[in-house]
Amino acid sequence: MGSTDEERVASSATASTSSADTSPPAPSPPPAEKKKKKFDPIEMPTPDVMAAQEFMNNCFVKSAMSGAMGGVAGLAFGLFMSSFENAHGGMDSIPDGTAQKSTRVVLKEMFTNMRTKSVSYAKGFAVMGALFSFNECVVEKWRAKHDAANPVIAGCVTGAMMAHSGGPQAMCFGCASFAAFSYVIEKYLNSE
């Protein structure tokens, strides 16, 4: 019984190896046909589209739009920052408690504080946005390149212009700090 089992196992092993060696390889699937790329026809811009693009590429238009958006952002930021202050000035001021003000007077002081702070922030953000946008547009047109150096150069010029009343040392610091900030923002935006 042992020898016949061994013979069967041996014969089946040789049969399986010999049948694998002699059988033809499985046919490969037919190659898939390549799809032809479809291209859309090129459409020439109309004169109206070209005029709109030329209008939007104007440095003064870009500067005005950035100034308006900066003003809106400054207004919102001023409202947000003034909400942390109470009607008496700052967060660290302690009311003396001797004279109690009516609610109407307190609300009037709070709204006056909000308005002055919001207008102040709006002016600052609008001027900064307009200056930076104008300088970046001029630098880009002057260099005839659109790369990461344009915002850095524009940031340096804008920082120096905004700090001009502080003298040369303040202008150098403003140039370096605004250029560094512009570089960091540009790298962050280009990393995505």
DSSP conformation letters of 76-87: HHHHHHHTTS-T
**Residue 37, both tokens:** 């790329």
What is the CA angle 135-132-53, rounded to 5?
70
31 pLDDT above the threshold of 90: no
**DSSP strands (E only) in the chain:** none
Which structure tokens are listed for 70? 């900066």
Whether the CB-CB separation of 130 and 66 falls below 8 Å is answered with yes
What's the pTM value of the predicted model, to 2 decimals? 0.66
- On the question of pLDDT at 87 being above 60, the answer is no
Q: In the prediction, which pLDDT does 94 show?
A: 58
The residues spanned by each domain of the chain are 58-87+101-143, 147-192
Residue 49 has pLDDT above 70, yes or no: yes
Rounded Cα gap, residues 137 and 60, in angstroms: 9
Checking if the pLDDT of 17 tops 70, the result is no
Q: Check residue 148 and report its DSSP letter.
A: T
The answer, yes or no, to whether residue 86 has pLDDT greater than 70, is no
Q: Please check the confidence at residue 121 and state whether its pLDDT lies above 70.
A: yes
Residue 93 pLDDT > 70: no
